[in-house]
Homo-oligomer: A and B are copies of this chain.
Amino acid sequence: MPNINPDRLLSDLRELRQFGACGNGVVRQSLSPIDIVSRRWLVQKLKEAGLEASIDGIGTVFGRSRASGKALLIGSHTDTQPTGGWLDGAMGVIYGLEIARAFGESPQTRSLAVDVASWIDEEGTFASFVGSRSFVGEDVDSLIEQARDKDGQSMRDAIRAAGLENEPRARIEQGRYVAYLEPHIEQGGVLEASRKRIGVVTTIVGIRELEIVFSGQQNHAGTTPMKIRKDAAAALFAFACQINSEFARLTGPQTVWTIGQVELHPGAPSIVPGRAEMILQFRDSNAAKLDELQARALALVDAADAAGPVRVTATALKDAVAPTVMNAGLQKHIAAAAERHAPGAWISMPSGAGHDAQVIATRIPSCMVFVPSIAGISHDFAEDTSEDDIALGCQVAASAAESILRAARSSEVKPSRF
């Protein structure tokens, strides 16, 4: 059994945290200067672990094992939200580094190939999942040209500024991978609430987003009587309350929905808003439930529009993500490792967040393992996980990695029955 080194693991995680540290959190958005510095550091660490490593032509860090035969790919991301936590993504990548290192240190596992990836821009500073999408063969060139960060810089220009535009891009190597494993913090409070320490991910939930626009008449807030107003904000508030009431009625056991972005135009205390916009996002692991929620939302839009006096329209945003089921065989390997290292302290659970695993799963059998998030907090500086849980998660992932690779090797050498 490969034994990971908890002190070395935590030391590397803390070192990575220093790149963009901001209080307890980290500000290290994709392709920012500090992100590039951290990627060079990661390449060096992977090389010291014995891998062939480099930053590819769009920013993904890829480390390739020198061992022969089928390989396991372990990955996640080291970019952060605008004001992110220190473990979201970073933990999975450093798990990969530590597992590759632990495998190389033991004669029993030295021959097993573990590749490690830090996919660029999981968090969508420019566009979500660009690194993993490029890796599985999607043509991302027009995306890179068009995607811009909040300051209006294109991803193409950011890649050029980082001096990466002439580097080769990491691409899936046909026949190499037996599986993709993405370890991650849970980012929610399910493990903590159920007093468990490991989550074996069954499904990554699907995401739908509707942009809903309310078009009224901008006017003076003092001189326009209530009866003749076409107040776009008032229509938005009423609609939001309807959604929150109706979705609560229709919700499945894992449904979540959020109105996290709202704009009022022009947005001044003395002006009746003429236009208001919201993004309504909802997630579920069941595609039929997503269809049901979307149909209800659109019916409410039509009803509000018909009732007037404000026009209401909805547009389904393009980046809708279908629910992705994790490979059942791989889940068993993780469950067995979890039961070995934390008997009775693990559960199977869906992932409410999106992950690169949902992209990689289109080409490689994929699986995920979760560790608890303290107080369920993430996408916030306060995000954290106990050191014991961080170490346990890595040991579970390492044991699962070994058993996945050994099972693949044994099936390779099995004589064909035909």
Q: Is the CB of A225 within 8 A of B256?
A: yes
A2 at the interface (CB under 8 A from B): no
Of A40-48, A294-302, A372-380, the one touching chain B: A372-380
Query: Among the listed B82, B205, B223, which residue makes an inter-chain contact with A222, where contact means beta carbons less than 8 Å apart?
Result: B205
Query: Among the listed B225, B268, B351, B377, which residue makes an inter-chain contact with A188, where contact means beta carbons less than 8 Å apart?
Result: B225
**Total copies of the chain:** 2
A395 at the interface (CB under 8 A from B): no
Query: Among the listed B226, B237, B279, which residue makes an inter-chain contact with A241, where contact means beta carbons less than 8 Å apart?
Result: B237
Q: Is the CB of B256 within 8 A of A260?
A: no
- With both beta carbons as reference points, the residue of chain B lying nearest to A209 in the complex is identified as B269
Question: How far is B281's CA from A224's CA once the two chains are assembled, in angstroms?
Answer: 13
Binary flags per residue of A229-250, CB closer than 8 Å to B gives 1, else 0:
0010110011011001000100
Q: Is the CB of A264 within 8 A of B266?
A: no
A374-416 CB contacts (< 8 Å) to partner B: 376-380
Q: Is the CB of A269 within 8 A of B262?
A: no
**Known: A207-B222, A379-B218. Contact between A237 and B240, CB under 8 A?**
yes
Using Cβ atoms and an 8 Å threshold, which residues of chain B touch A376?
A: 219, 223-224, 228
A59 at the interface (CB under 8 A from B): no
Q: Is the CB of A267 within 8 A of B273?
A: no
Q: Is the CB of B233 within 8 A of A259?
A: yes
Using Cβ atoms and an 8 Å threshold, which residues of chain B touch A222?
A: 187-188, 205, 207, 256, 283, 351-354
Q: Is the CB of B238 within 8 A of A244?
A: yes
A residues with a Cβ closer than 8 A to B are 81-83, 186-190, 193, 205, 207, 209, 217-226, 228, 231, 233-234, 237-238, 240-241, 244, 248, 251, 254-262, 264, 266-274, 279, 281, 283, 351-354, 373, 376-380
Q: Is the CB of B220 within 8 A of A188?
A: yes
**Known: A217-B377, A241-B238. Contact between A256 and B224, CB under 8 A?**
yes
**Known: A225-B190, A226-B256. Contact between A377 and B219, CB under 8 A?**
yes
Using Cβ atoms and an 8 Å threshold, which residues of chain B touch A268?
A: 260-261
**Known: A233-B259, A264-B262. Contact between A270 and B223, CB under 8 A?**
no
Query: Among the listed B254, B260, B274, B352, which residue makes an inter-chain contact with A233, where contact means beta carbons less than 8 Å apart?
Result: B260
